[in-house]
Each structure stands twice: as structure tokens, then as C-alpha cells.
Amino acid sequence: MENSFYSLDVCESISDLSESSVELLRNQSSPFLNYDWFHAFSSHVSHSLGKPKWLILSESGEVVALLPMIEEQRGIYLVLRSMTNYYSPYFDLISSPGTSRSILLEHIFGAARELFSVYDIIEFLPTTEEVLTDFSAVFGQNGWYCHKYEHTINFQETNIQDFGSYWNERPSRLQSTVKRKQKKLNGISHKYKICIIDLTDEALAEYHYTYFRSWKVTEPFPAFID
């Protein structure tokens, strides 16, 4: 039986990824880890964060895992961080379904040991507890000090049939707040209403118009929102 040979390449632009790397991205079930997400992120966000570093693990010439990272100078420290920011609900190694994250990470570390040694800090966030455990185990076993902290909390509703059933299951306090605010609006003028609408180009334009006229801090990457 032929032994597998693992190799690691580093690419500095999503536009330079090979067809097999792009295919792996397109086959991701998560909307936050697929090609469209990272293409938009690379086009509108990542240039402000640092230098992209796509770590590409291949087995006998076939791409089996991707680790999208960004290199940045943070004061006196050179940092390699996950290609994420406040838009990203979670981060993970990108691979085919059914593959072992921990085994692939071990191969990545083995091939990237010299690369990783250049950096003062390597940072992955945000991650789930399961992902964090695998990353910490591999780096910890290879001599890195691993520090875990709570960065953010995300909530996900996995069984939404329609908006009506979803809304009926929301906390009574939230439902009461919406009713109260609607009543207050009606007291000002009957031309105002609270509604849920389908996402269209017109709706996006109205959203941005309202957002930029509001008290909120200016959105730094409006094109990414679209």
C-alpha cells in the first residue's frame, strides 16, 4: 500500500487558490466557511486586517484541508490569526466531511513548524469548544502555551419552519416589547409599522440609508453586509 505524503503550501490571495482548493471551499455546508463567504471577506475586509495567508494541506497532491489565516503586526508582536473578525460567528479548519480535524491539524503543524516559529502569537477565534479543544491539543503537544478565553457567544435556531412559528416561540418579553413599541409608533403616526420583509436590492438600499442616518457607529464595510 502506498504511503500518503503530506505537503503544505502557503497562498496569499484567494484568487490564487488552485481549482481543487476552491472546490473544497465550495463544498462546505457552512455559509461562514465556504467560498462565497471568504471571497466577500477577502474583497471587502481582509485588506484592512493584514496579509492573507492561506495554509493549504495536500495529501499525495490532493488538497485535503485549508486554514485561512492573516498575518498582522500587533505592536511589537508578529501575529498569525484566523481570517475572521466581528462578522464571523465561528472559525474552523476547512476540510472534507468525515475527516479528522485533529489528525489534519497534526499534519499541518508538522509541515508548518518552521512557519509557525516565526510568529509570537497564533490566534484562532471565535471557535466552538470542540474546535478549541483540537487546536489546543495539537499546539500544546508541540510546545506552544495555549490560553483559552471567552470571546463571544452565539445562539442558533436550528428548526425554523416559518416566521410565524419562530415568532410564537420567542420570549413573551420580546413579543411584548414589539407590541409596546408598535403602539407607541401608532401614537405618533399611523404611517409607521414594524414588519419583516424579504431581502431585495431595494431593501438593502433602504437599510443602508437608515443605518447611516442613525446614531450607530458608521459601518466600516457596508459592501460586505450586502
Average confidence (pLDDT) over 183-187: 86
- Least confidently predicted of 45-49, 69-73, 184-188: 184-188
Q: What is the pTM of this model?
A: 0.83
Where do the DSSP E strands lie in the chain? Answer: 6-11, 51-59, 62-74, 77-82, 94-95, 121-123
Q: What angle do CA 223, 46, 199 make, to 5 degrees?
A: 25
Question: What is the SS3 assignment for 168?
Answer: helix
Higher pLDDT, residue 219 or 84: 84
Where do the DSSP E strands lie in 13-61? Answer: 51-59
Predicted confidence at residue 171, as pLDDT, reads: 94
Quick one: pLDDT band at residue 4, thresholds 50, 70, 90? Answer: low
CB atoms closer than 10 angstroms to residue 21: 21
Higher pLDDT, residue 183 or 195: 183
Contacts made by residues 166-169, CB under 8 angstroms, sequence distance 24+: none
Considering the segment(s) 6-141 as one domain, its CATH architecture is: 3-Layer(aba) Sandwich (3.40)
Mean pLDDT estimate for the chain: 91
Average confidence (pLDDT) over 165-171: 90
- pLDDT, tens digit, for every residue of 61-102? 899 999 999 999 999 999 999 999 999 999 999 998 889 999
* Residue ranges per structural domain of the chain: 6-141, 163-225
Quick one: pLDDT band at residue 29, thresholds 50, 70, 90? Answer: very high
Please, are residues 81 and 70 in contact by the beta-carbon 8 Å criterion? yes
* 70: nearest Cα among 90, 87, 60, 85: 85
What is the C-alpha separation between 224 and 183, in angstroms, rounded?
A: 34
What is the C-alpha separation between 187 and 216, in angstroms, rounded?
A: 25
